């Protein structure tokens, strides 16, 4: 099972709507089950550096099938996954990456959002992921 472009577009649309509703400007990336980019959108005026971060968040969420923030808790100094960010050409392990599931609960891709506080990034990613 893999995400379709039309599903990715529906997710981006919901994420943009949520982003506007909380007055933020986001970079939004969707990857498929193979962790490869399907769709991307940078809202006008969004941080340029968040482009790469949003894509890395989406990939990180699919690489390990969990929210990026959970990995970040384990990658702290002394933690079990300390400095895991060095793998896979760079992970981003703070919140804003969320797996995307289909109606049967299977993971079909992931969304990564960057452009505001990590709380806002995560809220927009959740709004996107729950749109399908």
Q: Which residues here bind a second copy, judged by CB under 8 A?
A: 4-5, 9, 32-44, 47-53, 56, 59-60, 62-65, 72, 75-78, 80-94, 117-118
Nearest approach in angstroms of CB 14 to a second copy is: 15
Nearest approach in angstroms of CB 49 to a second copy is: 3
Nearest approach in angstroms of CB 103 to a second copy is: 18
CA proximity to 122, closest of 106, 132, 109, 111: 111
Nearest approach in angstroms of CB 36 to a second copy is: 6
Q: How many CB atoms lie within 10 A of CB 61?
A: 32
Residue nearer to a second copy on the CB measure, 76 or 130: 76
Look at strands 27-32 and 97-101 and give their pairing: unpaired
CA proximity to 100, closest of 50, 54, 65, 48: 65
Helices first, then strands: H and E counts in the chain: 4, 4
């Amino acid at each position: 099972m893999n995400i379709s472009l039309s599903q990715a577009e529906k997710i981006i649309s919901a994420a943009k709507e949520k982003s506007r509703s909380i007055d933020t400007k986001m970079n939004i990336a969707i990857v498929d089950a193979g962790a490869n980019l399907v769709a991307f959108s940078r809202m006008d005026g969004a941080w340029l550096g968040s482009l790469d971060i949003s894509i890395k968040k989406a990939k990180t969420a699919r690489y390990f099938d969990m929210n990026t923030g959970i990995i970040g808790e384990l990658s702290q100094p002394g933690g079990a996954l300390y400095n895991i960010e060095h793998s896979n050409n760079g992970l981003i392990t703070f919140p804003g990456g969320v797996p995307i599931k289909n109606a049967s609960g299977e993971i079909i891709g992931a969304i990564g959002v960057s452009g505001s506080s990590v709380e806002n990034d995560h809220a927009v990613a959740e709004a996107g992921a729950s749109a399908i």
